């Protein structure tokens, strides 16, 4: 009896440790987006992006507050929040998906692995399935993840007024940069 | 000076004035949050509770508002220069507070573990990690009435 209790206890501790090590996270990831037109270039950055990655299943979730995006010009930031993404109605952008085949990746010498990421991107209350490639490398105990992809305001039902239609690109380039550390609660 | 000249001068003045207005609107500066009036003074736990009770309601109430948040200074996460993230902790949750390094006094390290008040712009509740998020933060004196 005593033996089995000890065994169960050890199993619990071991599984707990394993569980703890398979999840990685950040609360200070960076997402930036860039719109390039002959009229003007617009860039915004969010440095408080959160992410949780399950290295066993490859599942990944990312979340960023719309109000967390900082523009060079206050007026652009105001238009972005109030008129385009309506951040009072839809305060965050999220992504839920997977890094395909994450558990079979091998990590050595900080060399980046090219990976495929797919899942659901939600912006402005609209969900859209996306697929992109990115890189993941392991530096000491952390995973460094990067990806770049294009989104179109049209796909997320974001209406750009005619007056500024030439100022905002049809394809916005989104870059994401995450340094994920072991998740311990 | 004839009428034609007067018209011309008037038009030039009007055009340059509207250009000036448009230009200053285009370049209007960002709000300096540390100088803005405070909308809410709350503790980390009170805010976490509001979000657990009714997230939509709490969003409408707090997002884009200037908040003075009370909590225990837990850690300082140096992130991308020139920014740092300061974690403020309550009993039931924590807040992710973004500081410009210019606004982050080095003496803050001595306050780790103490109760502090952080003023910042509330940008939202991150349900992934269960954390409040503030940006453009400054530490104000440890007096709620400040």
Strand, coil or helix: B111: helix
Assess whether pLDDT exceeds 50 at residue B145.
no
Assess whether pLDDT exceeds 90 at residue B81.
no
The pLDDT value given to residue B140 = 87
Mean pLDDT of chain B: 90
| Option in A47, A62, A70 nearest B79 (CB) | A47
List the domain range (segments joined by +) for residue A121: 23-182
What number is the average pLDDT over the span B77-100? 89
Assess whether pLDDT exceeds 80 at residue B79.
no
Are B135 and A25 an interchain contact pair (Cβ–Cβ within 8 Å)? no
Assess whether pLDDT exceeds 90 at residue B106.
no
DSSP output for A19-78: HHHHEEEEEEEEEEEEEE-SS-EEEEEEEEEEEEEETTT-EEEEEEEGGG-EESSHHHHH
Q: Please name the residues between 50 and 89 in chain A that touch chain B, using a CB distance below 8 Å.
A: 50-52, 61-63, 65-68, 70, 73-75, 77, 81, 87-88
Contacts of A102 (CB under 8 A, 6+ apart): A53, A55, A57, A58, A115, A136
Any domain includes A1: no
Q: Are B135 and A48 in contact (CB under 8 A)?
A: yes
The pLDDT value given to residue B101 = 87
Q: Which residues in chain B have their CB less than 8 angstroms from residue A25's CB? A: 129
Q: pLDDT by residue (tens digit) across B2-26?
A: 888 999 999 999 999 999 999 998 8
Any domain includes A3: no
| Number of structural domains chain A divides into | 1
Torsion sign over Cα A144, B79, A48, A68: negative
Q: Which residues in chain A have their CB less than 8 angstroms from residue B59's CB? A: 91
Q: Is residue A47 within 8 angstroms of chain B, CB to CB? A: yes
Q: CA nearest B126 in A: which residue?
A: A63
CATH number for A41: 2.40.128.110
| Option in B28, B31, B129 nearest A50 (CB) | B129
Any domain includes A129: yes
Any domain includes A97: yes
pLDDT in 10s for each residue of chain A, 185 residues: 667 777 766 666 666 555 546 999 999 999 999 999 999 999 999 999 999 999 999 999 999 999 999 999 999 999 999 999 999 999 999 999 999 999 999 998 788 999 999 999 999 999 999 999 999 999 989 999 999 999 999 999 999 888 888 999 999 999 999 999 999 76
Q: Which residues in chain B have their CB less than 8 angstroms from residue A88's CB? A: 60, 63-64
Interface test mutation site (partner A, options B123, B127, B132, B137, max chain A beta carbons within 10 A): B123
Any domain includes A59: yes
C-alpha span between A142 and A139 (Å, rounded): 5
Are A68 and B80 an interchain contact pair (Cβ–Cβ within 8 Å)? no
* Cβ count near B31 (within 10 Å): 13
| Option in A25, A67, A92 nearest B129 (CB) | A25
Q: What share of chain B is helix, strand, coil (3-state, %, to 5)?
A: 35, 35, 25
The pLDDT value given to residue A109 = 78
Interface test mutation site (partner B, options A23, A24, A46, A48, max chain B beta carbons within 10 A): A48
Q: CA nearest A51 in B: which residue?
A: B128
Q: Among the listed ranges A26-40, A64-78, B77-91, B113-127, which one has the minimum average pLDDT value? A: B77-91
Q: Which residues in chain B have their CB less than 8 angstroms from residue A94's CB? A: 128
Please give the torsion angle defined by the CA atoms of residues B139, A52, A114 and A178, in that order, rounded to the nearest 10 degrees.
Answer: 0
């Amino acid at each position: 009896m005593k033996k089995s209790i000890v065994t169960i206890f050890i199993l619990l501790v071991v599984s707990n440790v394993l569980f703890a090590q398979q999840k990685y996270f950040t609360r200070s990831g960076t997402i930036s987006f860039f719109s390039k037109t002959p009229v003007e270039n617009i860039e915004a950055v969010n440095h408080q992006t959160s992410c949780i990655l399950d290295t066993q299943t490859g599942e990944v979730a990312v979340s960023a507050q719309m109000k967390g995006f900082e523009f060079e010009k206050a007026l652009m930031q105001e238009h972005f929040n109030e008129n385009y993404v309506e951040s009072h109605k839809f305060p965050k952008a999220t992504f839920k998906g997977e890094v395909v085949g994450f558990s079979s990746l091998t990590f050595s010498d900080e060399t980046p692995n090219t990976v495929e990421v797919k899942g659901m991107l939600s912006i402005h209350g609209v969900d859209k399935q996306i697929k992109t490639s990115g890189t993941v490398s392991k530096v000491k105990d952390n995973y460094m993840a990067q990806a770049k992809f294009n989104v179109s305001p049209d796909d997320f039902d974001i209406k750009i007024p005619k007056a500024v239609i030439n100022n905002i690109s049809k394809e916005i380039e989104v870059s994401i940069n995450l340094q994920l550390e072991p998740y311990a609660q | 000076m004839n009428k034609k000249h007067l018209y011309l001068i008037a038009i030039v003045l009007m055009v340059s004035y509207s250009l000036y207005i448009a230009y200053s609107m285009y370049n209007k500066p960002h709000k300096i949050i540390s100088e803005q009036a405070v909308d809410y003074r709350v503790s980390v736990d009170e805010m976490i509770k509001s979000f657990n009770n009714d997230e939509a309601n709490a969003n409408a109430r707090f997002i884009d508002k200037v908040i003075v948040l009370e909590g225990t200074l837990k850690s300082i996460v140096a992130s991308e220069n020139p920014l740092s993230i300061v974690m403020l902790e309550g009993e039931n949750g924590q807040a992710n507070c973004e500081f410009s390094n210019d606004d982050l006094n080095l003496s803050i390290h001595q306050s780790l573990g103490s109760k502090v008040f952080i003023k910042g712009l509330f940008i939202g509740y991150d349900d992934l990690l269960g954390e409040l998020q503030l940006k453009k933060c400054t530490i104000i004196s440890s007096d709620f009435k400040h």
